[in-house]
A and B are shown apart, each in its own frame.
Chain A
């Protein structure tokens, strides 16, 4: 059993604060779910997750340790960093799903694997759509761009629903496929937004 660095009292696993009030060293190698203390699964209530994050942050943030011992300050910084990094990933359903697969050894974000497992027809379609996007951008076809954006957002939503279903059924292959498709949709939407941003600025 580990002991508190400040008062030497024994501390249990996953203890953040010892009874004496001293913040304990963060545990290494915890996954993001364990850091935030939420179950490791895709279905997470966004409100609950946020509440949990705020609750931890309120206690761990370095501002709370501004006048504390150097060691306590370091642990607070490390813990707050851990919590922020975990929340950044888990708050986004796409990143959370990708992270879950990654914990199982499937790296959706790996560029070299990009097109693998995707229907060639789907790839052709996406390519054609991106060409259409480039043309519409060049022509400044506002209405057409809006329409393309709306269509893509609808597809994105449908894919997100399929990801949730895939996790519920334990169908990892489906989840992986949809997540890869989502990367295409998101890149498309990003390009569209960049264009809108540039147009608004001009």
Chain B
């Protein structure tokens, strides 16, 4: 069928990008630590500060005298000046003051933003200054940019900055703004798992399916990526934004505090901080060693690796669900994978590697420093963009993280686009009226995996008005969902006979935190059984109301068509359904509906005949008139 073949030309000038000549870098702007890397002599490597350290703690201190301190020094000031020292600012990027994420982590900081503010603002420098997360991030980027200028010599032409795979539009935009504010030209935002894959040399020549297991200080992400013919396809993503290496430290610290006779620290923040730091140091020593000693003032305690592992095993177990789900969503089993890539400092812990090995049935790739791997990959991408031009780019195909749907009669959700669908994408569905002479459609767009709209996140609500009056089920509206490459959704509803149209644009992921995404996913699994039952029951009740109304109307209009004991039988079935429809047994309601259907079948057929006859008669009259 040659005529069905599309002709492909080269996309020439329409994609021309300004070629980059100077030095370019890759930056991992992390929650806990940030790094900068560059390709030199064909190989990427991380750039160090004068003391030889590559990790820059993502902590910014705003002193009373107006000076700004970034990194390790700022970290040391955190205990004394909790309000003036901002850490984990990444969690606030692109968030409004009302976001759950902003409220959850606000504790140590003083917020200047008012409820309803589109951005979070911190009050710092002894209350003299207000800064946004974008400004705080820019300080970190400025330090890294300066480090790169020192190390590479000369001007920086551009940077690739990495972001988590399911950072939404607002979070990505905020990251870009921070780069610009720091005086960097942001060549591209790159997804962290893709960056990790690039660091392993999985470029356009490679093929295969990889899992990227990213366990950082405070977050866990799993992505399944397929690499082929220069296309990186995200098959699925998942994670837990409240799970990370910090939880390991806290678990061990909890044991230590218990033995010190201060189970929850007794409100002593300094003590808690000290013990957590000691626990973290002990955890790190237990990676190469089997046992170590913790010393806090006069408290001394030997800790073995086995003890640490017993403490962290339950936490680690929480990564299993998201991994299994990501594989299932990608339609894969562990055997289909070509490799598992470890990212994040917490993956150094031997038990984590063991856990990953057991989950995926293979030895994970871990020969690149898991703290550096993302920055190294970003440097590779920056080099690609600067050197060989746009045609050698690898292309990333992203997906929507949660299903998009519409609320139906009775509050049930009809999924229109399932989660993990590659974007851009579109879907059409036709809906009909529920009641006779219904004048409009109330369209409620929701996002989530649950069966009931009330349990999903509401994205938008709009109306399609001016429907032609007609019996229930006759008027049809075609609803179109379109999601563009930035994840922005547009919903259009069109009445088919009149062409009446209404539409709305929503950003499905805007303001939806990863926490919310996870909670919604988790709940959908925990409630799967219950939801299906509720859904069945709701659907049956709606159907019962419809058929009762229709049958009663038919009896009133065309009662003369009934034969023998037909009326009695139909009314008996109506009474039964009427009684059952309020109950909780969806199956029983279904049976009663079928019984009523059965009892009124012949009556319905006779009515249909009558209508047809009327139609035919009418037409004949028309024709006669025309001839006259």
Q: Is the CB of A68 within 8 A of B15?
A: yes
The docked-state distance in angstroms from the alpha carbon of A56 to that of B9 is 10
The docked-state distance in angstroms from the alpha carbon of A37 to that of B4 is 5
Partner of B14, one of A12, A21, A50, A77: A21
Q: Is the CB of A62 within 8 A of B231?
A: no
How distant is B412 from chain A, measured CB to nearest CB, in Å? 14
Q: Is the CB of A56 within 8 A of B321?
A: no
How distant is A105 from chain B, measured CB to nearest CB, in Å? 16
Partner of B484, one of A15, A38, A58, A77: A77
The docked-state distance in angstroms from the alpha carbon of A23 to that of B8 is 10
Interface members, chain A 46-85 (any B CB < 8 Å): 50-51, 54-59, 61-65, 67-69, 72, 77, 80-81, 84-85
The docked-state distance in angstroms from the alpha carbon of A58 to that of B424 is 13
Interface residues of B (CB under 8 A from A): 1, 3-17, 228-231, 320-321, 324-325, 328, 390, 395-397, 421-427, 482, 484-485, 522, 525-526, 528-529, 532
Q: Is the CB of A16 within 8 A of B525?
A: no
Q: Is the CB of A77 within 8 A of B9?
A: no
The docked-state distance in angstroms from the alpha carbon of A50 to that of B529 is 35
Q: Is the CB of B395 within 8 A of A33?
A: no
- Knowing A51-B229, A77-B484, say if A200 contacts B11 (CB, 8 Å): no
Chain B residues whose CB sits within 8 angstroms of the CB of A13 once the complex forms: 3
Q: Is the CB of A62 within 8 A of B6?
A: no
Which of chain A's residues has its CB closest to B425's CB? A84
Chain A residues whose CB sits within 8 angstroms of the CB of B228 once the complex forms: 50, 54
Q: Is the CB of A63 within 8 A of B395?
A: yes
- Knowing A23-B14, A33-B4, say if A61 contacts B425 (CB, 8 Å): no
Going nearest first, the 7 A-B pairs with the smallest beta carbon separation are A21-B12, A17-B9, A62-B485, A37-B6, A68-B14, A21-B13, A81-B424
Which of chain A's residues has its CB closest to B8's CB? A16
Query: A142 near B: Cβ within 8 Å?
Result: no
Query: A22 near B: Cβ within 8 Å?
Result: yes
Chain A residues whose CB sits within 8 angstroms of the CB of B230 once the complex forms: 54, 58
Which of chain B's residues has its CB closest to A6's CB? B14
Q: Is the CB of B231 within 8 A of A198?
A: no
Partner of A54, one of B1, B12, B229: B229
The docked-state distance in angstroms from the alpha carbon of A62 to that of B11 is 12
Q: Is the CB of A201 within 8 A of B321?
A: yes
Partner of B529, one of A18, A56, A63, A198: A198
Q: Is the CB of A65 within 8 A of B7?
A: no
Partner of B423, one of A16, A50, A69, A84: A84
Query: A40 near B: Cβ within 8 Å?
Result: yes
Partner of B5, one of A14, A54, A81: A14
Q: Is the CB of A193 within 8 A of B485?
A: no
Partner of A81, one of B395, B426, B522: B426
Chain A residues whose CB sits within 8 angstroms of the CB of B425 once the complex forms: 81, 84-85, 88
Chain A residues whose CB sits within 8 angstroms of the CB of B12 once the complex forms: 17, 20-21
Chain B residues whose CB sits within 8 angstroms of the CB of A84 once the complex forms: 421-425
Q: Is the CB of B5 within 8 A of A58?
A: no
A to B CB contacts below 8 Å, 28 in the list: A13-B3, A17-B8, A20-B13, A21-B12, A21-B14, A34-B4, A37-B5, A40-B4, A55-B8, A57-B231, A58-B230, A58-B231, A59-B11, A61-B395, A64-B390, A67-B17, A68-B14, A69-B14, A77-B484, A77-B485, A81-B424, A81-B425, A81-B484, A85-B426, A194-B528, A198-B528, A201-B321, A201-B522
Q: Is the CB of A198 within 8 A of B526?
A: yes
Q: Is the CB of B6 within 8 A of A16?
A: yes
The docked-state distance in angstroms from the alpha carbon of A33 to that of B3 is 11
How distant is A146 from chain B, measured CB to nearest CB, in Å? 15
- Knowing A57-B231, A58-B395, A201-B525, say if A14 contacts B424 (CB, 8 Å): no
Chain B residues whose CB sits within 8 angstroms of the CB of A64 once the complex forms: 11, 15, 390, 395
How distant is A118 from chain B, measured CB to nearest CB, in Å? 17
- Knowing A39-B1, A39-B4, say if A61 contacts B485 (CB, 8 Å): yes
Main secondary structure of the interface of B (DSSP, over half): mixed
Partner of A193, one of B1, B4, B320, B328: B328
Partner of B7, one of A15, A21, A193, A200: A15
The docked-state distance in angstroms from the alpha carbon of A16 to that of B228 is 23
Query: A104 near B: Cβ within 8 Å?
Result: no
The docked-state distance in angstroms from the alpha carbon of A19 to that of B12 is 9
Q: Is the CB of A56 within 8 A of B325?
A: no
Chain B residues whose CB sits within 8 angstroms of the CB of A37 once the complex forms: 4-6
Chain A residues whose CB sits within 8 angstroms of the CB of B8 once the complex forms: 16-17, 55-56, 59
- Knowing A37-B4, A40-B4, A193-B328, say if A17 contacts B10 (CB, 8 Å): yes
- Knowing A23-B14, A88-B425, say if A57 contacts B397 (CB, 8 Å): yes
The docked-state distance in angstroms from the alpha carbon of A64 to that of B424 is 13
Chain A residues whose CB sits within 8 angstroms of the CB of B427 once the complex forms: 85
How distant is B158 from chain A, measured CB to nearest CB, in Å? 14
Which of chain B's residues has its CB closest to A51's CB? B229
Chain B residues whose CB sits within 8 angstroms of the CB of A34 once the complex forms: 4, 6
The docked-state distance in angstroms from the alpha carbon of A118 to that of B484 is 41
Query: A197 near B: Cβ within 8 Å?
Result: yes
The docked-state distance in angstroms from the alpha carbon of A198 to that of B530 is 11
Q: Is the CB of A23 within 8 A of B11?
A: yes
Q: Is the CB of A80 within 8 A of B424?
A: yes
Chain A residues whose CB sits within 8 angstroms of the CB of B390 once the complex forms: 64
Interface members, chain A 148-202 (any B CB < 8 Å): 193-195, 197-198, 200-202
Q: Is the CB of B11 within 8 A of A21?
A: yes
The docked-state distance in angstroms from the alpha carbon of A34 to that of B3 is 9
Chain B residues whose CB sits within 8 angstroms of the CB of A198 once the complex forms: 525-526, 528-529
Chain B residues whose CB sits within 8 angstroms of the CB of A87 once the complex forms: 422
Chain B residues whose CB sits within 8 angstroms of the CB of A14 once the complex forms: 3, 5-7
The docked-state distance in angstroms from the alpha carbon of A23 to that of B6 is 13
- Knowing A54-B229, A198-B525, say if A62 contacts B424 (CB, 8 Å): yes
Q: Is the CB of B1 within 8 A of A40?
A: yes
Chain A residues whose CB sits within 8 angstroms of the CB of B485 once the complex forms: 61-63, 77, 80
Q: Is the CB of A22 within 8 A of B14?
A: yes
Q: Is the CB of B6 within 8 A of A56?
A: yes
Chain B residues whose CB sits within 8 angstroms of the CB of A62 once the complex forms: 424, 484-485
The docked-state distance in angstroms from the alpha carbon of A146 to that of B390 is 50
How distant is A127 from chain B, measured CB to nearest CB, in Å? 11
How distant is A155 from chain B, measured CB to nearest CB, in Å? 20
Which of chain A's residues has its CB closest to B398's CB? A63
The docked-state distance in angstroms from the alpha carbon of A64 to that of B229 is 16
Which of chain A's residues has its CB closest to B522's CB? A201
The docked-state distance in angstroms from the alpha carbon of A16 to that of B8 is 6
Kindly list 15 other residue pairs between chains A and B, CB separation below 8 angstroms, not including A16-B9, A56-B6, A67-B16: A15-B9, A33-B4, A34-B6, A35-B6, A50-B228, A63-B485, A68-B15, A80-B424, A81-B482, A84-B422, A88-B421, A88-B422, A197-B525, A198-B528, A201-B522
How distant is A81 from chain B, measured CB to nearest CB, in Å? 4
Chain A residues whose CB sits within 8 angstroms of the CB of B1 once the complex forms: 39-40
